[in-house]
Amino acid sequence: MVNLIGTYECKADAKGRLMMPVAFKKQLSPVLQDGFVVKRAVFQSCLELYPMAEWNLLMQKLNKLNRFKKKNNDFIRRFTAGVKIVEIDSAGRLLIPKDLISFAGITKDLVLSSAVNIIEIWDKDQYEKAIDDVADDFGDLAEEVMGFDDEINLD
């Protein structure tokens, strides 16, 4: 399992290629040769870049869903819509497919942000807006998500 760290700004060229930040390339070096999957995010208008091993783990979970339940089939279809396999080329660039660039509203300036085991790819302005939008409520959100009941083990 990959645990990524960092948020980096970069630029996309006219063809939709971005130079993968060196810090991410170093963190991803054990899995670079396996390739990646890029897809639409579920909750934001950004993209998610999965190392292939992480994607395969997620697909194992999805594969356990009962396909004879309509909601499961609908979810799988929408979750995998627009999914593409991508690779980092010998020059260290990643080509983002045009349809996904359009979905995420990506222009020239990008932000690549680690999200535990994946990288989110954002248009810079949209990233800044998303961070600002949750800034006021982040304390409450952190408490709700991570504020488990105190369990002190004195052993």
Amino acid at 84: K
Domains of the chain, residue spans: 7-146
- What's the topology of domain 7-146? Chemotaxis protein chec (3.40.1550)
Tens of pLDDT along 12-71?
999 999 999 999 999 999 998 999 999 999 999 999 999 999 999 999 999 999 999 999
Tens of pLDDT along 18-30?
999 999 999 999 9
- Give the mean model confidence (pLDDT) for residues 118-137: 88
Torsion angles phi and psi, residue 41, rounded to 5: -75, 155
User: Residue 132: in which H helix or E strand, if any?
Assistant: helix 124-135
Q: Compare 139 and 92 and report the one with higher pLDDT.
A: 92
Q: Quickly state the pLDDT bin for 137 (edges 50, 70, 90).
A: confident
- Give the mean model confidence (pLDDT) for residues 93-99: 95
C-alpha radius of gyration, the chain, whole number: 17
Question: Please, which residues have CB within 8 angstroms of residue 65's CB and are 6 or more apart in sequence?
Answer: 72, 75, 76
Q: What are the tokens at 74?
A: 């609908």
- Give the mean model confidence (pLDDT) for residues 101-117: 94
The per-residue pLDDT for 136 is 67
Q: What are the tokens at 66?
A: 């009962």
